[in-house]
Amino acid sequence: MNLRILLQRYSAYLWPAAVLAIGIVLSVLLGDTLQQRALETWQKRAQQESAQRSMTLLGWVEESYATLSALVALVENSGKVDASEFLNAVDGLEARAKVNFMPVKAMMEFGRNGWRTKYSSVPATANAAIPAPDNAPVSLLTDTLTRAQDIPNEAFMSAPFVDPQGKQHVYVVLVPSGKPEVALVGVFAVQRMLGNLFEESGLDGVNLDLKLGSEGSDTEAVLSEEKATGPIVYRSSTLTQTAHVNLELIWQFSETFDGGVDRRLGQGVLAGGTLVSVLVAAFVAIMRRQNQRTQQRVDEATRGLTDALTQVREEALRHEAMLTGKAKAGELSRQLQDVATYAQFGQRTLTYLAPWSGAEVAAFFVKTEGTNVFRCVAGHGIAPESCMEFQPGEGLAGEVALSGERMLCRDVADGLLRIETTALSIAPRAIAIVPIKISTGIIAVLELAYLQEPRNQDDILGEALPVIAFSLELLTRKLFDTGVQTPRTEKESQ
């Protein structure tokens, strides 16, 4: 019996088997792809959640420092601070504070016997962290006071210590430059702050490790808050420096976070595709046993299978397109993580954002410290020095900086961006002027020039602007912590 006879005899089984195998393989591949996309979407949600909660935590830390800074101003502006004046100032500052994770504050003086407590917001017996006036401070506090005395007007944070109730705290010390013999000391309730963060946000399925490491020391202390159940499947970290300590927030997510990874679409495609494949294979097996008319029906069924698979692919592509914007935003965030200057930040932003949005020319303006002047620090297709500076209210860019509202100009006036080549100077079809706002106000303005009417601009900017603003906030804080830049609120700039 030759091969041709065998093929003719078993052809009724070969075709259905082939259809079944192809359908199952495609269903498995497509289902796996959709499940992977679902995992990536979940990871992006986890990344955004960790970034938002890190900003909240760092904001609480900075607000707690502000209380000590205000007390420093009191000490420097008063010839002599008495107990009632100190305690009244503490009560007033705590009443105005949105959060208070520094329940104990004290004023200490340096004399012949070293550092001693002068005033405290609580009785000495109520909190062992602050010594009685006649007692010397513990070595941890003494070391922190010595470091702060060497560099006045800068906050110094100690390593964590455990109070009698088993809660972890740190000392925060600030020595006025005008009175180096005086120190303002706060007992910062770090563990309570972590607990409040989880209670306020309702986080579940998440662990947080807070690592504290002093400058020049290889020793790190770790404080943890654990809410995750099950194995950890994703990690995200934020590294910053505050009060002369390296602070790292390590977020760990289990699959229970935010309801877990939504694999229903991928599993549905896999099950539905397999079921369709089985049904079609059975249908083909029956049709192959009939006459030409039946064969035609088999062909129609095959085309129906092809159409069904095409629809599934189109649905997968549509789902992938929805994720593209978030993926690009994530890539932009990674591009902006290690910048050190506003010029470098602006150049990386334009290099990535201009091709994404279709802009032929773009410029990045940043408000100069101590003034209301916005100057161009980076350009795409244009030299930064050729861009005119402006102040809030001056021209269209100034109106955007003043109002904080995005603007799209189609009738482009002279003086705005132009698209230049070696032979031509062309006015763009449209220019988008976009404000970048951080917690202290509008600090930067983007100008994007297009030869063609921009497409999907709102969607693109909707994904990109939160990433740019968040990264610019981190850079501003980084420059502030290193003494390069002093953040200013809008009211202070006016």
CB 440 within 8 A of CB 402: no
Q: Which residue has the tokens 């082939």?
A: 18
**Range 310-339 average pLDDT:** 73
Q: Which residues of 163-177 are buried (b: 16+ CB within 10 A; e: fewer)?
A: eeeeebbbbbbbbbe
pTM of the model: 0.50
**Range 47-51 average pLDDT:** 89
Which element (helix H / strand E) includes 94? helix 83-96
How would residue 295 be classed by pLDDT, with cut points 50, 70 and 90?
A: low
pLDDT at 258: 81
C-alpha to C-alpha distances, 57 to 15, 197, 266, 277, 332, nearest whole angstrom = 63, 7, 36, 52, 23
- pLDDT of residue 363 exceeding 60: yes
pLDDT at 423: 44
Query: Which span out of 17-21, 23-27, 173-177 was modeled with the highest average pLDDT?
Result: 173-177
- pLDDT of residue 248 exceeding 80: yes
**Range 234-240 average pLDDT:** 89
Q: What's the CA gap between 87 and 144, in Å, rounded? A: 23
The rounded percent of the chain whose pLDDT value lies above 90 is 25
Q: Which range among 161-165, 214-218, 389-393 shows the weakest confidence by mean pLDDT? A: 214-218
Return the axis-axis angle of helices 83-96 and 3-77, rounded to nearest 10°.
150
- pLDDT of residue 239 exceeding 70: yes
pLDDT at 243: 87
Q: For the chain, which residues make up each domain, given as ranges?
A: 342-493
Q: Within its chain, how far is the Cα of 32 from the centroid?
A: 29
CB 460 within 8 A of CB 325: yes
**Range 284-310 average pLDDT:** 72
- CATH code of the domain occupying 342-493: 3.30.450.40
Q: Which range among 30-44, 142-156, 306-320, 464-478 shows the weakest confidence by mean pLDDT? A: 306-320
pLDDT (tens digit per residue) in 397-455? 999 999 999 998 886 665 556 655 444 456 788 899 999 999 889 999 999 999 888 88
pLDDT at 124: 64
- pLDDT of residue 17 exceeding 70: yes
Nearest to 118 by CA among 167, 80, 63: 80
pLDDT (tens digit per residue) in 59-113? 888 888 888 888 888 888 887 889 889 889 999 988 888 888 888 899 999 988 8
The mean pLDDT of the chain is 83
The CA angle 244-332-234, to the nearest 5 degrees, is: 70
The rounded percent of the chain whose pLDDT value lies above 70 is 87
pLDDT at 389: 92
How would residue 489 be classed by pLDDT, with cut points 50, 70 and 90?
A: very low
